[in-house]
């Protein structure tokens, strides 16, 4: 089988009590995107919207010809592994690792090591895989 053509991995944390500045200090990293509940933002169409909850995201961005395992390790390496910190984060926020997977064929794969899976589990993060067929015809 062929390794994934293109992929990205992102940490998503969300919750009504999310304070982006405090969370960035606790995690020791700068988010790619963050917003507090109640803050105003512009939608993709330019409409002013009010955030229904707080959100904090880190991302590797899309990568070509790099294994998903490598992107997940890169993301996890930016995050502390302190169980007490993650227990506190998970008490008030929901967290997940979101992976976008772009396929060039019907038979591509990604293999995740036990160490990477353990790193996600120890932080209380679920793994979400969103797969795209690059050659899908748009639905009309």
pLDDT tens string 120-129? 999 999 999 9
Closest by CA to 63, choosing from 109, 116, 113, 102, is: 102
How much is the average pLDDT of 22-34?
A: 96
Closest by CA to 78, choosing from 6, 11, 14, 7, is: 11
Sign of CA dihedral 91, 115, 77, 74: negative
Task: For residue 136, name the pLDDT band (cuts at 50, 70, 90).
Answer: low
Cβ atoms of residues 33 and 58 within 8 Å = no
Q: Which residues sit opposite 108 in a β-bridge?
A: 2
Residue 2, pLDDT above cutoff 70: no
Of 109 and 2, the structure prediction assigns the larger pLDDT to 109
Task: For residue 137, name the pLDDT band (cuts at 50, 70, 90).
Answer: low
Q: Which residue has the tokens 């038979």?
A: 107
Confidence at residue 6, expressed as pLDDT on a 0 to 100 scale: 86
Task: State the angle between helix axes of 83-92 and 20-27 in degrees (0 to 180), rounded to the nearest 10.
Answer: 160
How much is the average pLDDT of 29-52?
A: 95
Domain ranges of the chain: 2-133
Closest by CA to 14, choosing from 58, 49, 46, 48, is: 58
Structure tokens at 1: 């089988």
Residue 71's contacts (CB-CB under 8 Å, 6 or more residues apart) are: 7, 8, 9, 60, 63, 99
């Amino acid at each position: 089988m062929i390794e994934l053509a293109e992929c990205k991995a992102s940490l998503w944390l969300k919750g009504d009590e999310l304070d982006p500045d405090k969370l960035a200090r606790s995690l020791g990293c700068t988010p790619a995107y963050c917003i507090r509940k109640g803050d105003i933002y512009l939608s993709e169409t330019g409409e002013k919207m009010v955030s229904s909850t707080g959100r904090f995201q880190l991302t590797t961005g899309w990568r070509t010809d790099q294994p998903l395992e490598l992107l997940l390790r890169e993301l996890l390496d930016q995050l502390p592994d302190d169980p007490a910190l993650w227990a506190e984060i998970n008490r008030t926020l929901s967290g997940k690792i979101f992976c976008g997977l772009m396929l060039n064929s019907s038979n591509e794969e990604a293999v995740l090591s036990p160490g990477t899976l353990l790193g996600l589990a120890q932080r209380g993060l679920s793994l979400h895989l969103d797969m795209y067929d690059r050659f899908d015809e748009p639905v009309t």
